Amino acid sequence: MLDAPVWRARAAAHARSVEALTADRLARRVEGRTHPVDDFLWEYYAFRPAQLARWHPGPGVGLADGQEREGWSGYLVDGAGTAYLDVERFVQRRGRALSFVRDLLRATLSRPGRFGCFGLHEWAMVYRADREEVRHDWPLRLGAEGTDAVVESHQVACSHFDAHRFFTPEAAPRNTLRPTREGQLDLEQPGCLHAGMDLYKWCFKLAPAVPSDLTLEAFHLARDIRELDMRAAPYDLRDLGYEPVRIESTEGKREYAEAQRGFSRRSNALRRRLLEVLDGLAQTSW
């Protein structure tokens, strides 16, 4: 049980953290500017800043004097005014999603990471594409022909469906794997940058059962991963302050794989914490 001053202070601190994270995004929207790194989490995952700013303690925690949460999705308020997660109702409503995410986390944790893809998924998304088909309005660092040559001189081995589905029609057959939505449990592995970013998605999709501090950590991880993703991409983002990871070179490959290993360790630590939360729902009385 958290007394009202305690949980309200935590909720306010969380909201301030999110406000700081989103200030640049909101300013860009007013000015009509875009950012290929910072905008991704808001646009691709479509979780609004106001939603992220809502603080949730997770299962098994009562909020004293929590009448204001009456009507919040997933919450109950008892006769004493204590607000808490309605675990039984949440599990009934979200059981299929819970099962899928738990199975996916376990499957991913059971496998070693693979660190030989070198971020070629972003290159495959612009392979032999017309300029109007290129996803980001930034120049290609090596030009169109140079970009195509990198794809053609490497083995593309993307294991993530939501990256592979954006490959150009000419690039898709070059992938050594055939990821599908139905086969996600069979291919997901912790070395994949997109699998690491997706931890943020699983956290917010299972709100309010997932504590907000965990969701915010997953957001920070996803933001850091996205920076590497775009630094290793074929775009020239030096005007934004991002030095490229030149994956077409031996040194660049080494730099990318080393960063990838670090993200794999971070993402696996969050996977274990998220799995503990989801496994614990069955034992929570509140």
User: Long-range contacts of range 149-155, CB-CB < 8 Å, 24 or more positions apart?
Assistant: 150/120, 150/123, 150/234, 150/247, 150/248, 151/120, 151/123, 151/124, 151/127, 154/118, 154/120
* Tens of pLDDT, residues 75-109: 999 999 999 999 999 999 999 999 999 999 999 99
Burial 206-216 (b: 16+ CB within 10 A, else e): bbbbbbbbbbb
**Residues 6 or more apart from 227 whose CB is under 8 A from it?**
37, 242
Give the range among 24-28, 48-52, 138-142, 151-155 with minimum mean pLDDT: 24-28
Give the C-alpha separation, 135 to 4, whole Å.
Answer: 47
Report the pLDDT value the prediction gives residue 286, as an integer from 0 to 100: 52
74 — alpha (psi -120 to 50), left (phi > 0) or beta? left
Q: Are 243 and 62 in contact (CB under 8 A)?
A: no
**What sign does the CA torsion over 108, 111, 166, 231 have?**
positive
Does pLDDT of 5 surpass 80?
yes
Q: Are 214 and 273 in contact (CB under 8 A)?
A: yes
Q: Which H/E stretch holds residue 77?
A: strand 75-77
Tokens of 2: 């958290």
CA-derived radius of gyration, the chain:
21
Name the 3-class secondary structure at 2: strand
Model confidence band, residue 25 (pLDDT cutoffs 50, 70, 90): confident
Report the pLDDT value the prediction gives residue 284, as an integer from 0 to 100: 65
Q: Which H/E stretch holds residue 7?
A: helix 4-31
Predicted TM-score of the model (pTM)? 0.94
Q: Are 228 and 259 in contact (CB under 8 A)?
A: yes
Give the C-alpha separation, 61 to 11, whole Å.
Answer: 14
Report the pLDDT value the prediction gives residue 46, as an integer from 0 to 100: 84
Name the 3-class secondary structure at 84: strand
Distance from the Cα of residue 45 to its chain's centroid: 8
Report the pLDDT value the prediction gives residue 283, as an integer from 0 to 100: 73
Report the pLDDT value the prediction gives residue 265, as an integer from 0 to 100: 98
CA distances from 81 to 48, 62, 76, 155, 207 (A): 29, 10, 9, 60, 21
Amino acid at 172: A
- Cis upstream peptide for 208 (omega within 30°): yes
Give the range among 44-48, 102-106, 234-238 with minimum mean pLDDT: 44-48
Region 268-283: mean pLDDT is 93
Give the C-alpha separation, 244 to 139, whole Å.
Answer: 13
